[in-house]
Amino acid sequence: MVSLNNKILLFNISALLLLFTWETDSQVLNKYIKEGLDNNIVLQEKSISLDYALYSLKIARSYFLPSISIQGDYTSGEGGRYIPIPVGDLMNPVYQVLNSLTRSTVFKPIPNENINFLPHDFYDAKLHSTMPIINTDIYYNLSVQNKQVKLTEYEVDIYKRELIKNIKIAYFNYLNSIYAVKILGEAIDILNENVRVNQDLIDNGKGLQATYLRSLSEKELVIVQLSTAQNDEKNAKRYFNFLLNKNLESDIDTSCSFEKQEINSLMTRLFLANDSSREELSMLKTREDISDVMVKMTKSYLIPKISGFLDLGSQAANWTFDSKSKYYLTGIEIVIPIFYGGKNNYQIKQSVLEYKNAKLNYENNLQQLQLSNELAKSNLLSAWQVYQASGLQVKSAMSYFKLINKGFKEGANSLIEFIDARNQLTSSELTLNINKFKVMIEIANLERETASFDLGEAR
């Protein structure tokens, strides 16, 4: 009789073996998932979009800093419009009076002047600086760009999760195909033995030619099924390697076993998960927040926009540069909107409608995701129940086949009974194999619906 301590020891050993197997399976899959994420071209394109959004955010931040530039111009011209200044007509009579009073010719007559509009050999060079003091647009723009970065990050993660799901499903389909080939190969081995037994019976004068031909026909039928399964295996292999962006004929590690206890444990964890962390919901919520920011931005149009400027430069003719040519000029610019034909009010109404639409879109998608989550759980539970029933069918078919096979060799059962038992065994084994990987596929679907796969594991 096994003692309690021995039972505990056996249980711990089983648990450790199960954990080790699951860790091994996870490592194999995670290796392929990481490889798929690293090599995927679409994901690389989305990473570029993320970098683009990050630079847009940096540009939005730069608007808070002063802008400094060097500006300069040189102008020179003659002709065109001019301004007549009658300096001589005004001053010459005065000079005559002064000359008569002083009895001298010190004050010479001067001509009238014509001042040309066009500057001659004139330059203006300056260091121009501007700085926003009050501008609500750049504050709201920074907020929008920050949320745009989050949107792009969510889009990248959503694509990653879809790719991970597809890689897992493709891997499970490949495992399913190689096990199907194995099962059909074992069935052919059984049929080869059956053909050999029938040949021996004929050689000993106890068998029938019809029985022998029927066994050959049954064998050829399974060979055709095996050929189809082998083709399915090749296609599954190529598709899996395609997802990894590798050579289509690259070898695939098939050491994953996915025992029943592992599947049950994983299912339990997934059923306890929820879909509240899905990037789709976060993305829709962020879009709603962006719409809210746009509403606030359009409503703030009445707030004055104030900016300051400072010019440090030099201007003079004939490229003169001295203390008199140097100057500074500073000031403040204020823009207060008065009338724009109602444009701002219309923009406010538009942004409010966009915000309402974003909220409704979030609510609608939330319900759809909750529904798809429940459907995924239901599908997984149904697939699990079918898989368990398939296991019982295999046990029954195996026991039945052993009895019939033994009886056939002893002459107690007919070939028809043997073929029927063999068909039941092969069919039940194939069904069990298919149903097992249907469970794994549904697990991958539910894992996607709950966004429960840790993306950090694939980095």
**Average pLDDT, stretch 242-259?**
87
Q: For position 21, what pLDDT does the model report?
A: 43
Neighbours of 51 (CB within 10 A): 11
Instruction: Return d(Cα 254, Cα 151) in angstroms, integer.
Output: 37
Q: How many CB atoms lie within 10 A of CB 379?
A: 16
pLDDT at 294 > cutoff 90: yes
245 pLDDT above the threshold of 50: yes
- Tell me how far apart the alpha carbons of residues 315 and 75 are, in angstroms, rounded to a whole number: 11
pLDDT at 275: 58
Q: Which pLDDT does position 231 carry in this prediction?
A: 95
264 compared with 444, residue with greater pLDDT: 444
Average pLDDT over residues 157-181: 92
Count the domains in the chain. 2
Q: What's the mean pLDDT in 379-398?
A: 90
The pLDDT value recorded for residue 274 is 64
Residues 257 and 363 in one domain: yes
**445 or 1: which carries more pLDDT confidence?**
445
Least confident of 200-204, 348-352, 445-449: 200-204
425 and 288 fall within a common domain: yes
- Has residue 42 been placed in a domain? yes
* pLDDT band per the 50, 70, 90 thresholds, residue 9: very low
Domain that holds residue 175: 14-67+135-303+342-458
Strand-pair partners of 333: 307
Q: Is residue 431 part of a domain?
A: yes
**Shared-domain flag, residues 247 and 113:** no
pLDDT score of 452? 84
Q: What is the domain-level CATH number for residue 236?
A: 1.20.1600.10
Q: Is residue 319 part of a domain?
A: no
Q: Do both 384 and 253 map to the same domain?
A: yes
Are residues 224 and 108 located together in one domain of the fold? no
Residue 242 in tokens = 């395609």
> Same domain for 92 and 141?
no
pLDDT value for 177: 92
The answer on 357 and 286 residing in a single domain is yes
* 235 and 191 in a common domain: yes
What is the predicted pLDDT for the residue at 265? 74
CA–CA gap between residue 219 and residue 423 (Å, rounded): 11
Pick from 20-29, 139-148, 382-391: least confident = 20-29
Structure tokens at 389: 């029933």
The model's pLDDT over 117-160, given as tens digits with 9 standing for 90+, comes to 788 889 999 999 999 999 999 999 999 999 999 999 999 999 99
Which of 350, 174, 337, 196 is CA-nearest to residue 252? 174
Q: Is the pLDDT at 20 greater than 60, yes or no?
A: no
Q: Does 325 map to a domain?
A: no
Q: Answer whether residue 311 is part of any domain.
A: no
Q: Give domain status of residue 357, yes or no.
A: yes
- How far is residue 353's CA from residue 347's CA, in Å, rounded to a whole number? 10
Handedness of CA 106, 107, 111, 113 (dihedral sign): positive
Same domain, 378 and 423: yes
Most confident of 9-18, 102-111, 314-323: 314-323
Both 92 and 199 in one domain: the answer is no
How far is residue 56's CA from residue 50's CA, in Å, rounded to a whole number?
A: 10
Q: Work out the pLDDT band at 10, boundaries 50, 70, 90.
A: very low
Q: How many residues comprise the chain?
A: 459
Output the six-digit token pair for 335: 């823009």
**Which is it for the CA torsion 435, 441, 447, 449, positive or negative?**
negative
Q: Which residues are 310's β-sheet partners?
A: 129, 330
Residue 97 has pLDDT above 60, yes or no: yes
Question: Distance between CA atoms of 282 and 150, rounded to whole angstroms?
Answer: 9
Share of the chain above pLDDT 90, in %: 39
Q: 108 and 172 share a domain?
A: no
Distance (Å, whole) CA 212 – CA 198: 5
Asked whether residue 315 is assigned to any structural domain, the reply reads no
Instruction: Please state, rounded to an integer, the average pLDDT across all residues of the chain.
Output: 85
403 or 456, greater pLDDT: 403
275 or 73: which leads in pLDDT: 73
Q: Is residue 320 part of a domain?
A: no
Question: Do 437 and 383 fall into the same domain?
Answer: yes
